[in-house]
């Protein structure tokens, strides 16, 4: 939901459209509306949850009036607003504050290496901010939630547009 995650999703969509769907000219790319919402930090501050939820609901209604085919939020921690789960992650907070650092990437690598030693067979970057600091190549398969979301959106877009043509 942060501006970095939204920009990363957009870039991932466009790169994947080229790589996996052969998009080359302007009319072969999907139409994308990127709506960055300056939601207050609701992950580390309970007092902002109500305001953030109200802002999101208002924007979703606004997008509904535009008759969009697919609506997605580049944020896996937005569920905190819906079911009151608390996920407080310093790395995510740093990224949300614009502090993308190699040190945070190294911390994630330590966690990934520990999980690998314990038998993990894949690394799931479930939070949309984590791919911004985790290396793109690692000794195990990486499931990047932004790439998964981008792939699903593009599959729906290109399937729908193939049917129309």
Confidence of residue 13 (pLDDT cuts 50, 70, 90): very high
Maximum pairwise Cα distance, the chain: 50
pLDDT band at 88 (very low <50, low <70, confident <90, very high): very low
Burial class from Cβ neighbours inside 10 Å (0-12, 13-18, 19+) for residue 74 reads buried
Burial letters for 13-50: b for 16+ Cβ neighbours within 10 Å, e otherwise? bbebbeeebebeeeeebbeeeeeebebeebbeeeebee
Indicate the length of the chain as a whole number: 165
Quote the CA–CA distance of 131 and 76 in Å, as a whole number. Answer: 12
Return mean pLDDT, the chain: 81
The two three-digit tokens of residue 30, written as one number: 């999907």
Radius of gyration, alpha carbons of the chain = 17
Q: Which residue has the higher pLDDT, 77 or 138?
A: 138
66 has a pLDDT exceeding 60:
yes
pLDDT the model gives residue 80: 59
Residues sharing a CB contact under 8 Å with residue 123, sequence separation 6 or more, in sequence order: 112, 115, 116, 134, 138, 140, 141, 142, 143
- What confidence score (pLDDT) does residue 139 get? 92
């Amino acid at each position: 939901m942060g501006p970095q995650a939204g920009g990363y999703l957009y870039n991932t969509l466009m790169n994947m459209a080229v790589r996996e769907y052969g998009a080359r000219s302007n009319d072969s790319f999907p139409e994308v509306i990127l709506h960055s919402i300056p939601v207050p930090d609701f992950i580390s501050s309970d007092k902002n949850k109500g305001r953030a939820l109200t802002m999101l609901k208002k924007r979703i209604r606004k997008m509904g009036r535009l008759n969009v085919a697919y609506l997605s939020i580049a944020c896996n921690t937005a569920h905190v607003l819906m079911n009151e789960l608390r996920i407080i992650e310093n790395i995510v907070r740093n990224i949300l504050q614009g502090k993308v650092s190699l040190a945070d990437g190294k911390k994630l690598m330590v966690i990934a290496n520990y999980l690998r030693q314990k038998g993990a067979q894949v690394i799931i970057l479930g939070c949309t901010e984590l791919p911004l600091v985790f290396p793109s190549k690692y000794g195990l398969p990486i499931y990047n939630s932004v790439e998964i979301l981008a792939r699903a959106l593009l599959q729906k877009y290109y399937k729908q547009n193939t049917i129309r043509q």
